[in-house]
Structure 1
Amino acid sequence: MVSVSRYEIVVKKIKEMIEAGELLQGKKLPSEIEMAKRLNVSRATLREAYRILEDEGIINRYHGIGTFIAKTPIIKSGMEELISITKLIEKQGMKPGTKDKAISLLQPSEKEAAMLKLSPNEKIYRIERVRTADGQPVLLCIDRIPEKYIHGDFKFDEESLFEYLHRDLGIFISYAISDVIPVKAQVADVYRKLKMKSKSSVALLLEQLHYDDKDDPIFYSSNYFSSEKFRFYIVRKRI
């Protein structure tokens, strides 16, 4: 007979309380003393249960603020599918939007030039914007496109960069190579721009280099996703 640890029982009980509606998404939990008393366990056992629940994304703990039942992310996506943010938001039945857009023409950094295979005298357009879903800020996008791909003035007034490249420039994005990096939300002022709970919140950074069907690097993006509003998953198959 397999023995069940005390903290595992607490984890199961808290999950049952959430399912039963006794503990509500987004709501702050009672103090540790009160919860430990309510569940008839020590505070040490409760803290171990909280650690597991936090690892599973069921609760969020904020230093100096308290412990909250995590909200179900409003947007879910598979990591294996390359799709524009606009289409991704629309697939969830939500309206995509953009705010705080800034476009600048500048010299690339050493890293940007290397990623995009640019010569020293070539410039890039840098597009920074906050993407919204039904008016809520959900991610910060920073895209860099070599000036050589833009014909005339760069007038990007729509939601989807993929669509703009395909329709206006005849460039079809075929695939992307991505690095997935958890970062503190204080980086690039993400927590404020995405209205996250605190600077210590975690954002998910997708560094992506997008290629066309000729294997040419077209644009390089840094997308900071709010972990409070996005959840990514991946389908893994046994081979």
Structure 2
Amino acid sequence: MAISGVPGNGTQSRALTVRDAIIDLIEKRGYQTGARLPSEAEVVKALGVGRTTVREAYRFLEQEGIVFSKKGAGRFYSATPELLRPLTRLEGVTEMAASRGLKLSNQVLSITMNDPDKKEREELGVVANEPVIRLARVRKQRGVTLVYSEDSFPRSFISDALDAVDWSGSLFELLDIYGVHVVQSVTQISAQCLPDDVAEQLGEDATTPYLLLVQQHRNETGRPVLYSRDWHRGSEITFEVTRHR
């Protein structure tokens, strides 16, 4: 954890840097849920920053659900934080995690080119012999599955060979590179479990509750460009929505 100085202008920016250093420490040391974290004094000594900055850094971590405190006992690691996201915000899983400072592993389970099935033809407005790309991925946080995704979009969008493309990052950003810009989506939400074959493949309990978002993503002209199915782990990710009377 020894770091020679923490750059930044002002207490808040320095606190965010310290926050990131604490997250790195958690990952490097492989802390388990409930593990006691370094005290404020230990972090001050290790990083050469003020106690106020360290206290602010821990406050950020507590707000994000990564750390919890016990009066008189210290601060402890609470494993995967709950993600609370506004439902009206259109963002990919990669962007959602990055906004909370989370480092998720992103495993590509499969990437194939197929003729579209009936649902893909309806959602993407493609014809029967127009190939689509199907991408299946899983995002995990310290071994815990947070999101399983299945995405479909026209093969014509990607001018390169499939094996020449890095599919592990943000799909929105990748499509942007090829001139396809997702700006809105129509979303259906339901409580579901993972498909049985997926749960078996991932070694997951098939009864674990997930929130399934089925989305038709559209570009700036309203054309459907991406059809996605994202299973969000119910115990870790919460969406919020503002309703008006």
Give the TM-score band, short-chain normalised: 0.5 to 0.7
Q: Is the contact made by 1:116 and 1:217 (CA closer than 8 Å) also made in structure 2?
A: yes
Q: Please name the residue that 1:162 is paired with.
A: 172
Q: Please name the residue that 2:153 is paired with.
A: 145
Q: How does 1:3-152 map to 2 (within 5 A)?
A: 74-133=82-141, 136-152=144-160
Q: CA deviation at 1:115?
A: 1.0
Structure 1 consecutive aligned stretches of length 4 or more whose deviation exceeds 6 Å: none
Indicate the SS of the match to 2:161.
coil
Q: Which has the larger radius of gyration?
A: 1
Q: CA deviation at 1:188?
A: 4.5
Tell me: CA distance 1:122–1:188, structure 2 relative to 1, closer, same or farther (3 Å): farther
Equivalent in 216, 225, 232 of residue 232 of structure 2: 225
**TM-score, normalised relative to structure 2:** 0.62
Equivalent in 149, 172, 182 of residue 191 of structure 2: 182
Given residue 240 of structure 2, which amino acid in structure 1 is its aligned partner? Y
| Residue deviations 1:110-138 (CA, integer Å, cap 9, x gap) | 11111111112101000001012355320
Q: Which runs of 5+ in 1 are unaligned?
A: 1-24, 27-70
Q: State the percentage of identical aligned residues.
A: 25
Tell me: CA distance 1:107–1:183, structure 2 relative to 1, closer, same or farther (3 Å): same
* Whole-angstrom distance in 2 between the partners of 1:143 and 1:150: 14
Tell me: CA distance 1:130–1:82, structure 2 relative to 1, closer, same or farther (3 Å): same
Q: CA deviation at 1:209?
A: 0.6
Q: Is the contact made by 1:130 and 1:141 (CA closer than 8 Å) also made in structure 2?
A: yes
Given residue 102 of structure 2, which amino acid in structure 1 is its aligned partner? M
Given residue 180 of structure 1, which amino acid in structure 2 is its aligned partner? I
Given residue 112 of structure 1, which amino acid in structure 2 is its aligned partner? E
Q: CA deviation at 1:195?
A: 5.8
**TM-score, normalised relative to structure 1:** 0.63
Q: Is the contact made by 2:133 and 2:154 (CA closer than 8 Å) also made in structure 1?
A: yes
Indicate the SS of the match to 1:173.
coil
Indicate the SS of the match to 2:96.
helix
Tell me: CA distance 1:82–1:188, structure 2 relative to 1, closer, same or farther (3 Å): farther
Q: Please name the residue that 1:234 is paired with.
A: 241
RMSD: 2.4
